[in-house]
Every structure is written in C-alpha cells, then in structure tokens.
C-alpha cells in the first residue's frame, strides 16, 4: 500500500542554490530526494513542494509531500529524516495525508515574512538572516503603502520581468509590518506570490519608508503594470516562506 | 605622534580558526592586522586583544587596541575599518585611549554568555549560535549549582587539562541562567576565565539540570582539582565573549 506523507520543513537557505533540483548544485529538494532514495533502497522518490524558493531564501514552514510503500509511523518518519538530513534542513512535523492532498495544488494561501535590520550598526549574527537597511524609516507611511496592496490586483509591476506569461492577478489578505526595536518584520498572506513579488514589494515599500516615494505610488504602480517603475528587488537573505495554508478558515480570521 | 586606539568588536566565530593568528588559517586577528597593514601602507600594526577565543566561539564585545601614527578621528576609524573588514567582523565602537591602556592587562573583569537551545526541535537558524540540548532541565538545580561557583576558588577541575601550569584561582562575581522559553542563556562575570572554563562549567551544570549530579557536586569538584571529574566541555558555538570591563564600578553593582 502506498501512503502519502506530508511534511512541514524548515531550512536555512544560505548554503543552498534554492529549493529546486539543479544538476551539480546543492538544493533542498536534492537533499530530501537523496535521503528518501537511500531509505527506499535505491528507488527514486519524487518530492513535491508548495513552491520553489530562490538561493539564499529561507523557509520556516515549507510543505512537501511524497508517496511511499514504507510502513513507518509519522513519528518514525520524522526521526528517520531528521537523523539523515543535513543540519540546515529540519523536519518540523510529518502527517499521513489523503491521497488527494498535493503540497502545491491543495494550498489555499501562503505566508511570507521578510526581516529588515534597521540599526546603524551591522549585526554580524544576522547577516544571513535579515536585509540590512540602516536608514530612518517612516513606518506609518510603509503600512499605508502595504494597505494599498491588499485585495485582488494584477501584480505585473511587482514581479520579475522574467516571469513567464501567465495570469498575474493575485489576492493579498494581509500585508503589515511588525517592529521590534531596530528589527522590522514584513508579514504577507496571499493566495500566491509571483516570482520575486515579495522582494520587489519590500524594496518598493522601503523607498516609501525613506520618503523617496509617497504611499499613493502603489496605486499608480499597480495600474502601470510595468516592473521598471517599481523599486529594487530586496535581497534574498531577509525572506522566509513562513507558512502554507491548506484551509481557508485558518487565515481568514487572522 | 602615535595614538592608541581602543575598539569594541563583534564577530561571528563560525568561519574563523579562533581569534589568534595562526599561519595558513583564517583568524580574527589576521583579518584585523591585514586591514591595518593596508591602511599603514604595508607597515605591520600589531593588535592586542583582551584574550583569545577558540574556533567557533563568538564575540559580541571583544576589545582590542593598536598604536597608529594616522590622524583619523574615532568615527573615521570606525568607518574605515568596517568598510574593509569582512562581513563576519564588525567594529562597534572606537575610542582614543590613554597610552597606558592595554586591552588585556587593563581588564578588570570579563562577561561570557552561553546559549543553549532546549526545544525538542532542532532550529536550523540557530545551529551556529547555540548549543542544542533537547532534554528536560531543572533550572532551579542549575542555578543552585551556579551559585556554588560564585566567589574565589581554584578552578583546576573546570579548565582544560592542557592549561599551562599557572595560578588557577579566579573570582566569579555573577553566574546565572536567564530563560526565555526554550532558550537558556548562561551569564558569567569574573576576573578571568581559564582555558575552556566556561564551556566545562556549562557542560557540568547541564548534567546537574538533567539530574545526573546533585548541585552540591560543585563543592566536591572544586575541592578535588581534577578535570576528569567534571562534565564534558560544551560545544564552541554556544559561547560569546560578551563584554570586557575596565572599571570595577561597572560590574560590581550589576
């Protein structure tokens, strides 16, 4: 009998060439499939994830699934995987899922967070885990800009120009900043995010925070559908895939 | 005119073979002296520190000094050094010091901190910055053991057997644990610490916390003066040289 196992995993993206397998590169998917192949005596086991993450991007709550004939309990799977995975990937939980569950296609929404360290001083212990942006920022103006991004919009101005032709309409449910001293954390929940979308939003909203643009620019940027008019792509190291929601209830009331 | 500059520096010890220069190895002192040599047009500038740190050990408040004929202000020094140092060393402050000041010999006390992550779950983002010890711990018993270490003692049982023959009497002023959820932080202030002393104390006190030893063991260990009787040396990645005190007042009343 084949079982479908669903895992929530965390990884430190620093030493990976992103999530997705690429020949000759160290990737999260490559490490996962390598361990599963050993556990299945050399048979390939394909891992499906909720989505890719780029080089240097972290995950606290990436979700993957795979099918297996092995009769291990979820707790045994968690132990076995954690014992064999490298130190920069951790399996946080394992559950047996329905055969109709799919890590990507069953997802109802995703949460991303982006950390910005705003102190004048560089923090050597955070250099791989935050973007460093040592400039005075108007948090209220930034939250106003983020408010204008909420709702259903065509986000063409906020995705990489390399994005393949596709529907660029997405819905953002939550977009806020939590400040804890010099550490800012952007929090986004939405139906899905286009390539580089969170990083371009953060790069643009930081320009608002520095007074380089008014918050109302967001409206004209959304209307213009032109990536060149938005701000720079914020660096990978601040970004975390935080949570994948498979149930509307769980994020509607957040 | 020669000026003596005092700097407070932070470094992430992960990618260094310790503080002190060693041929062919990447060290903190080597990076500092390399930058200073370039700034002095090829002349060697010797850097003195409050003390060494081992491979993998971090510093938040290491103190160094050096002598220079360059007429830069402290603020200019800070900028110039931070611009040239690698990302894992940061200069937090620079002051011009009296010519009698010495980073090591003027120190009155040092503060070390040691981070232990006690959750059942590995945290991929903390793996270089904490020791992971996923066992239930009795914090009260640990604080009782730490209390017995305070005062003036011969710490032979708590230093590496490789320590050169010398006076092993030291005074510990403060030794406590701060708990913040699953994160424990040991805090020590003392006149000085022998080789591996903080890590052996932590390794021994964790055994007390697990119920492997009673807190009163500390008394017999101090009396025995035998390293073999104490607990294991806790790993380097949890340890931080936190602060160097050059003024008794500043730590007496902490």
A127 → chain B, closest CA residue: B87
Q: What is the least distance, in Å, from the CA of B77 to any CA of chain A?
A: 14
Q: A206-254: per-residue pLDDT in tens?
A: 999 999 999 999 999 999 999 999 999 999 999 999 999 999 767 665 5
**pLDDT for residue B182:** 95
Sign of CA pseudo-dihedral B179, B184, B185, B188: positive
Spell out the residues 6+ positions from residue A206 whose beta carbon is closer than 8 angstroms to its own.
A116, A133, A137, A142, A231, A234
Q: Cβ contact (<8 Å) for A90 and B122?
A: yes
**pLDDT for residue B1:** 85
What mean pLDDT is predicted for residues A87-101? 97
| Whether B244 contacts B65, CB under 8 Å | no
Percent of chain A with pLDDT over 90: 92
Q: Cβ contact (<8 Å) for A92 and B12?
A: no
Q: Cβ contact (<8 Å) for B82 and A127?
A: no
Active site residues of B: 54
Q: CA A79, CA B246: separation in Å to the nearest integer?
A: 49
What mean pLDDT is predicted for residues A149-163? 92
In chain B, positions 169-228, which contact chain A (CB-CB < 8 Å)? none
Q: Count each helix (H run) and each strand (E run) in chain B, helices first.
A: 6, 10
Q: Which of A60, A94, A125, A134 to mutate to test the interface with B (most CBs of B within 10 A)?
A: A125
Residues of chain B under the 70 pLDDT cut:
165, 249, 252-254
| Whether A251 contacts A111, CB under 8 Å | yes
Q: What is the least distance, in Å, from the CA of A221 to any CA of chain B?
A: 35
**pLDDT for residue A119:** 94
Which of A11, A89, A124 is facing B10, going by the closest CB pair? Answer: A124
B112 marked among binding-site residues: yes
**pLDDT for residue A177:** 97
> How many CB atoms within 10 Å of residue B64?
21
| DSSP code per residue over B118-181 | -SSS--GGGTTTSEE--S---HHHHHHHHHHH-EEEE-GGGS-TTSPSS--EEEEEEEEEEEET
User: Residues spanned by CATH 3.30.70.660 within chain B?
Assistant: 109-252
**pLDDT for residue B164:** 75
Does residue A12 sit at the B interface (CB-CB below 8 Å)?
yes
Q: Is B109-252 in CATH node 3.30.565.10?
A: no
**pLDDT for residue A254:** 58
**pLDDT for residue A248:** 77
Q: Cβ contact (<8 Å) for A124 and B12?
A: yes
What mean pLDDT is predicted for residues A103-110? 97
pLDDT confidence bin for A75, thresholds 50/70/90: very high
CATH code matching the domain that covers B3-97, chosen among 1.10.3720.10, 3.30.70.580, 3.40.190.10, 3.30.70.60: 3.30.70.580
**pLDDT for residue B177:** 97
Q: CA B63, CA B82: separation in Å to the nearest integer?
A: 15
3-state percent breakdown (helix, strand, coil) of chain A, nearest 5: 30, 30, 40
| Whether A66 contacts A5, CB under 8 Å | yes
In chain A, positions 109-138, which contact chain B (CB-CB < 8 Å)? 121-125, 127, 129
Three-state SS for B64-89 is EEEEECCCCCHHHHHHHHHHHCCCCE
Q: CA B252, CA B240: separation in Å to the nearest integer?
A: 21
User: Residues spanned by CATH 3.30.70.580 within chain A?
Assistant: 3-97
**pLDDT for residue B48:** 98
Q: A125-137: per-residue pLDDT in tens?
A: 999 999 999 999 9
pLDDT beyond 80 at A90: yes
**pLDDT for residue A174:** 97
CA B220 to chain centre: 26
Q: Which of B7, B125, B239 to mutate to test the interface with A (most CBs of A within 10 A)?
A: B125
Q: CA A186, CA A199: separation in Å to the nearest integer?
A: 10
């Amino acid at each position: 009998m084949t079982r479908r196992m669903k895992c929530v995993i965390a990884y430190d993206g620093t030493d990976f060439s992103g999530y997705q397998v690429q020949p000759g590169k160290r990737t999260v998917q490559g490490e996962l499939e390598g361990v599963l192949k050993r556990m299945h005596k050399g048979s390939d086991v394909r891992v499906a994830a909720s989505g890719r993450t780029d080089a240097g991007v972290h995950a606290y709550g990436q979700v993957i699934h795979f099918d297996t004939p092995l009769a291990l309990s979820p707790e045994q799977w968690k132990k076995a995987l954690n014992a064999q995975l490298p130190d920069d990937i951790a399996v946080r939980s394992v559950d047996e899922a329905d055969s109709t569950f799919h890590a990507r296609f069953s997802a109802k929404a995703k949460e991303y967070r982006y950390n910005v360290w705003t102190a004048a001083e560089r923090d050597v212990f955070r250099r791989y885990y935050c973007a460093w942006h040592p400039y005075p920022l108007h948090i209220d103006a930034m939250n106003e800009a983020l408010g204008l991004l909420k709702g259903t919009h065509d986000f063409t101005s906020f995705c990489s120009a390399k994005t393949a032709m596709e529907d660029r309409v997405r819905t953002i449910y939550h977009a806020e900043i939590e400040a804890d001293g010099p550490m800012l954390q952007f929090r986004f929940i939405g139906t899905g995010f286009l390539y580089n979308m969170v990083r371009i939003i953060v790069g643009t909203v930081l320009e608002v925070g520095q007074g380089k643009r008014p918050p109302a620019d967001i409206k004209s940027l959304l209307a213009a559908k032109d990536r060149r008019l938005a701000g720079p792509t914020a660096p990978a190291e601040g970004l975390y895939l935080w949570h994948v929601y498979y149930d509307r209830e769980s994020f509607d009331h957040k």
